[in-house]
Amino acid sequence: MAKKDYYEVLGLSKSASTAEIKKGYRKMAVKYHPDKNPDDKTAEEKFKEAAEAYEILSDDNKKAKYDQYGHAAFENGQGGGAGFGGFGGGGMDMDDIFSQFGDIFGGGFGGGGRRQSRGPVRTKGSNLRIRVKLTLEEIATGVDKKVKVRRKIQAKGVKYTTCSTCNGQGQVMRVTNTMLGRMQTAATCPTCNGAGQSIKSKPNEADSQGLIVVEETVTINIPEGVTEGVQLKVTGKGNEAAGNNSISGDLLVVIEEIPHKKLKREGVNLHYDLYISFSEAVLGVPKEIETVTGKVKIKIEGGTQSGKILRLKGKGLPSIERYGTGDLMVHVNVWTPVTLDKKQKKFFESMIDDENFIPNPSTTDKSFFDKVKDMFS
């Protein structure tokens, strides 16, 4: 099902200011808040939908990507995309929303009040980070990479018991005397760190949290068009955490691009330096050049000048935002011989005053900067 426009979800126009975005979110969050709509699944979904919209539009970088590319900017975890993931496939739950945006309600809803009644928090394991090297050819088509990851998991035989400090609630109540009277506040249990459980028994090889280190092979689906430094996320493949109510951290994959021997990358466009001889430039010749999808033949016309740029459309790299494929720029360089034998030298000496060999750029010949300008116009 196609997602709704984030501005539409919050009842805003695309020119909405930061203050208007915050106001729009608060209005929708209060309207569909679970405390006002108990056991109403439709209201809960609208509440989550509004939080997802606010998570994107309140962040200047994410908002700029969304304004340009829409929901496609955050598909497959690309570009550091939406942290909520639509709430449907292992994304943030209601507690996550209150913990991240609880201040938006101004104390009227959520946050501490709901957490006290919901019991222990779900502890999450730490994230792992790895680097994956890719060739331009792999970037052009996308690739599945299998990597070995050392991660912590719960050891078999670990047994947990209800935390005696918080009685399984994950929180302890504290009473503080203030000038306004006695105030009661909730704080995370210092014994179980909010999990509501503590270890009763564990195998000898497990650490103090009941975890052991194992090596696993993880398959990473890398989309086409990724760039150097892009970070992808594999949900649930980080370290596990202690407790029966815990969830695993994530595996963060940082892309590293292997330099190509002949092709140079510039965004989605590629550049290739083609060297031809003086004779080839004069007479014209077919040439075979390398691209990320295989070799192609091109025709060098007779009389080609050094510095000419040939543009091969669609022979560059696909855009990670899925708005097209770049081009391959072939830079033609005429190679001038460094040493000549007597016969060759005599030939060029005889041509030095020849009218046909005297530089005479016509008014139709464009400068290098004009050529570059034409390519991107």
Per residue in 111-165, pLDDT (tens digit) is 433 444 455 667 889 999 999 999 999 999 999 999 999 999 999 989 988 888 8
Half-sphere exposure of 299 (CA within 13 A, CB side): 2
CB 119 within 8 A of CB 145: no
Q: Which residue has the higher pLDDT, 264 or 366?
A: 264
Per residue in 46-87, pLDDT (tens digit) is 888 888 888 899 888 888 888 887 887 776 544 444 444 444
Task: Report the alpha-carbon angle 239-248-76, nearest 5.
Answer: 105
pLDDT score at 32: 85
Rounded percentage of the chain residues whose pLDDT exceeds 90 = 39
Highest mean pLDDT among 96-110, 252-266, 336-350 belongs to 252-266
Scanning the structure block, which residue is given the tokens 């760190």? 193
> Which architecture characterizes domain 1-118 according to CATH?
Orthogonal Bundle (1.10)
Confidence of residue 227 (pLDDT cuts 50, 70, 90): very high
- For residue 118, give the nearest of 95, 101, 87 by alpha carbon: 95
pLDDT score at 174: 78
Per residue in 266-301, pLDDT (tens digit) is 999 999 999 999 899 999 999 999 999 999 999 999
Whether 366 shows a pLDDT value over 80: the answer reads: no
Q: What is the CATH number of domain 263-375?
A: 2.60.260.20
Per-chain mean pLDDT for the chain: 82
pLDDT score at 188: 81
pLDDT score at 363: 45
Parse the chain into domains and list their residue ranges: 1-118, 263-375
Residue 298, beta-bridge partner list: 287
Per residue in 318-331, pLDDT (tens digit) is 998 878 899 999 99
* 1-118 and 263-375: identical CATH topology: no
pLDDT score at 193: 76
Half-sphere exposure of 292 (CA within 13 A, CB side): 31
Backbone angles phi, psi at 74, to 5 degrees: -120, 15
